[in-house]
Amino acid sequence: MMKTVLITGAGSGFGHEVAIRLALKGFDVIAAVEIYAQVQTMKREAATRGVTLRVEKLDITNEGDRTKALAWNVEILVNNAGVLEGGSVLDVPGSNMRHEFEVNVIGPLLLTQGIAKQMVKRGKGRIVWVSSREGLNVNPFTGIYSASKHAVEAIAETMSLELQEFGIEVATINPGPFLTGFNDRGFETWKSWDDDPSDRLFDYSKLAFPRAQFDPEPVYATMTKVAAGEIDTYRNLEPKSMTEETKHLIEAPWNKKVRDGLGTRPASLQKSYEMKPETPVAR
């Protein structure tokens, strides 16, 4: 049984909870957090929950941190760390775009390259990529994030083919809109953009994340089971209630005409004007 799990981005959100749940299941968990200030916080939370886990500072964009991780004998890698940069693809500054891709794509892939080759030598391993529903669909104002997650989808699917003969399992997790604070934080990043606000196409003070958000419990449960090897499906979308909508939106561009709706505002974009931050899905 593979026991040593490295989960990145464990300082908050999905990664934080899943790291603790995997430890509760008896795995040897290495909970990687981005900054040193999160180390003691994570240790205290683990102690409160009655579990023992190892907490390491691992900024996936830092080459030294990635190299350090190669000494940890990782058998299961959960690439969970990520950021969301909200804003129109016509407004997001270049430095913010680059940061999005460094955190969501380049850093995790470089980390995975080294760890996956160790797995190949052992003849076993499991790699879980936390993608997004946005890796399968797109929405206004999350286009750069969506682009990074589409890249993750391409990397993960290719990796699953290239590692198949070496006995390495690869899976993806595709969370939809969940209320962890992640989505709403992403719609606040414009406040620190280094640009000319008068040149922006949209006024971001009037916009919010465009969808009501679900309780994150289904993602916690599914991520934990996928990492533990208790679920063996390659793609794992949560909530499952969004599966048909997601598939429909994947097919939609095949029938779209370039002049459809010209001169009008799409309903999906209008939702950002109407939604309030941290709106939960009505039960």
Phi-psi region of 53 (alpha: psi -120 to 50; beta: other; left: phi over 0): beta
Residue type, 82: G
Q: How far apart are CA 87 and CA 84, in angstroms?
A: 10
Contact 128, 77 (CB under 8 A): yes
Does the annotation mark 204 as catalytic? no
Which single residue is written with the structure tokens 């040593």? Answer: 4
Determine phi and psi for 179, rounding to 5 degrees.
Answer: -85, 80
Which entry of 36, 145, 220, 234 is annotated as an active-site residue?
Answer: 145
> Residue 66 corresponds to which amino acid?
R
Torsion of CA 40, 43, 48, 51, to 10 degrees: 180
Which residue in the block uniquely carries the two structure tokens 């916690």?
220
**Residue-by-residue DSSP string for 129-164:** EE--GGGTS--TT-HHHHHHHHHHHHHHHHHHHHTG
| Residue keyed to tokens 């749940």 | 21
Specify the pairing of strand 168-175 against strand 4-7. unpaired
CA 237 remoteness from chain centre? 12
* Helices vs strands, H then E, count in the chain: 10, 7
Separation CA 177–CA 168 (nearest Å):
30
Could you give the residue numbers annotated as active site?
Answer: 145
